[in-house]
C-alpha cells in the first residue's frame, strides 16, 4: 500500500508479490487501495499461482503486468533420514498404540479454509477404523476470550479479523475431537518442532489438505503439500484455488473435489486399501516435485521477471 508514495517521490520500479489472501481480503477500503495501486502504481505483479494472478487481474492489474512464479520447496527434505524411534514417541504423545494404524496428517493453523473440522465431522467417521488422523500446527491462546470479544463487534468486522489468520476453526476442531467415535482416532498435537514435523510426515501413510471454499479467503498455493511430497508422503488435496497448481493429479498427489464428502471417503479408503498405489504415488512425488518446484526454478522465474523490467 506504500506504492503510491514510492511512485510519487521516485522513479523506482515497484514489484509486488501476491500470495492469495492479500489479494482477496474483503475490506472495502483495502480493496479500493489495492485496485488503485494495481492500476496505477505497481509496475509488475508476481503471483504465486495462476489462481492468485486471476484475482489480481479482476482488481484492475493490466495483463502485461501480471506474472506467475510458483513457490519453491526445500529439496533437502528428501534426504532427512526416517527416525524409526519417532513412532514410539508419537504413541506416548497420543496415548494409543499406532502399530498397524494408517496415519493421516494435516498441518497448519486452524483457519476455516483448511477444512480440518469439516474433515473430522464429515469424512473421518466413515473411514476404516484402522485410520488415525493427526493434526499439527499453532493453536490460538485464549480463543474463548477472543471469540467472546469478537461477538461484541459487528459481524462484518469480526469476520475481517478472523480472516487475517485467527485459528477460529480451533473451536470446531475441539468439539469434534470430543465426539465419542473420534476419541481414539483423531488428535491435535499443536505446534511441534520442524524436526518432529518432518518425522511425522515420514511416518504417515498420507498427507491431506481437505481445504474448503471460504468467501473472502483463499489458499494461494500449497507449499505444505510440496513439503510432504518431498518427504515421500502420498498427498491427497482439495482441487481448489492455488492448491491445484502445487499438486498435479496423479503426479505428486491426488486431487479431490473440495467439500465432496463421498469423493473424499472413496479416495482415502482406496489409497489406504492399496499399498501399491500409495507406494507408487509416494515414490514418484519427490522426483516430480523437485523438477518443477525447486528454489532454483523459483529464483530463475523471479530473475526473469525483474530483468524484464
| pLDDT one-digit tens code per residue, 96-137 | 999 999 999 999 988 899 999 999 999 999 999 999 999 999
Angle subtended at Cα 113 by Cα 237 and Cα 44, rounded to the nearest 5 degrees: 90
Neighbours of 176 (CB within 10 A): 22
**What is the gyration radius of the CA atoms in the chain, in angstroms?**
21
Closest CA to 105 of 297, 267, 237: 237
Extract the C-alpha cell encoding 44.
509488475
Closest CA to 287 of 222, 232, 207: 232
Exposed/middle/buried for residue 82 (C-beta within 10 Å: 0-12, 13-18, 19+): middle
* Distance between CA atoms of residues 276 and 50, nearest Å: 33
Residue 230 has a pLDDT of 96
Closest CA to 59 of 33, 87, 88: 33
Distances (CA, A) of 40 to 62, 148, 279: 10, 41, 51
Asked if 203 contacts 104 with a C-beta cutoff of 8 angstroms, the reply is no
Residue 7 has a pLDDT of 78
pLDDT per residue as tens digits for the range 240-290: 999 999 999 999 999 999 999 999 999 999 999 988 999 999 999 999 999
pLDDT per residue as tens digits for the range 139-161: 766 667 766 676 777 777 766 66
* Distance between CA atoms of residues 121 and 108, nearest Å: 18
Q: Which of 6-10, 92-96, 299-303 has the lowest mean pLDDT?
A: 6-10
Residue 147 has a pLDDT of 66
Extract the C-alpha cell encoding 87.
513412532
pLDDT per residue as tens digits for the range 29-75: 889 999 998 998 899 999 999 999 999 999 999 989 999 999 999 99
pLDDT tier, 163 (very low <50, low <70, confident <90, very high otherwise): low
pLDDT of 164 strictly over 70: no
* Distance between CA atoms of residues 272 and 206, nearest Å: 8
Extract the C-alpha cell encoding 264.
473424499
Amino acid at each position: 500500500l506504500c506504492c503510491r508514495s514510492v511512485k510519487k517521490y521516485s522513479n523506482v520500479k515497484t514489484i509486488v508479490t501476491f500470495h492469495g489472501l492479500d489479494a482477496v481480503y474483503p475490506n472495502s477500503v483495502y480493496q479500493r487501495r489495492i485496485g488503485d495501486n494495481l492500476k496505477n502504481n505497481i509496475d509488475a505483479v508476481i503471483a504465486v499461482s495462476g489462481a492468485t494472478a486471476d484475482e489480481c487481474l479482476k482488481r484492475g492489474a493490466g495483463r502485461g503486468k501480471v506474472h506467475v512464479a510458483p513457490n519453491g520447496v526445500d529439496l533437502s527434505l528428501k534426504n532427512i533420514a526416517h527416525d524409526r524411534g519417532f513412532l514410539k514417541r508419537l504413541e506416548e504423545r497420543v496415548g494409543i498404540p499406532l502399530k498397524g494404524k494408517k496415519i493421516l496428517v494435516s498441518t497448519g493453523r486452524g483457519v476455516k479454509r483448511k477444512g480440518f473440522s469439516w474433515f473430522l465431522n464429515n469424512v473421518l467417521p466413515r473411514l476404516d477404523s484402522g485410520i488415525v488422523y493427526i493434526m499439527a500446527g499453532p493453536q490460538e491462546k485464549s480463543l474463548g476470550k477472543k471469540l467472546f470479544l469478537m461477538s461484541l463487534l459487528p459481524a462484518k468486522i469480526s469476520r475481517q479479523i478472523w480472516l487475517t489468520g485467527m485459528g477460529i476453526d480451533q473451536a470446531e476442531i475441539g468439539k469434534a475431537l470430543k465426539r465419542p467415535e473420534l476419541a481414539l482416532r483423531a488428535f491435535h498435537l499443536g505446534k511441534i518442532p520442524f524436526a518432529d514435523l518432518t518425522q511425522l510426515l515420514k511416518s504417515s501413510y498420507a498427507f491431506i489438505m481437505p481445504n474448503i471454499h471460504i468467501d473472502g479467503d483463499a489458499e494461494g498455493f500449497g507449499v505444505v503439500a510440496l513439503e510432504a511430497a518431498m518427504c515421500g508422503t502420498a498427498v491427497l488435496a482439495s482441487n481448489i484455488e492455488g492448491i491445484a497448481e502445487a499438486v498435479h493429479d496423479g503426479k505428486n498427489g491426488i486431487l479431490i473435489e473440495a467439500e465432496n464428502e463421498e469423493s473424499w471417503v472413496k479416495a482415502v479408503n482406496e489409497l489406504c486399501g492399496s499399498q501399491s498405489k500409495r507406494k507408487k504415488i509416494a515414490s514418484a512425488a519427490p522426483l516430480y516435485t523437485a523438477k518443477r518446484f525447486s528454489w532454483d526454478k523459483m529464483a530463475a522465474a523471479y530473475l526473469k521477471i525483474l530483468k524484464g523490467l
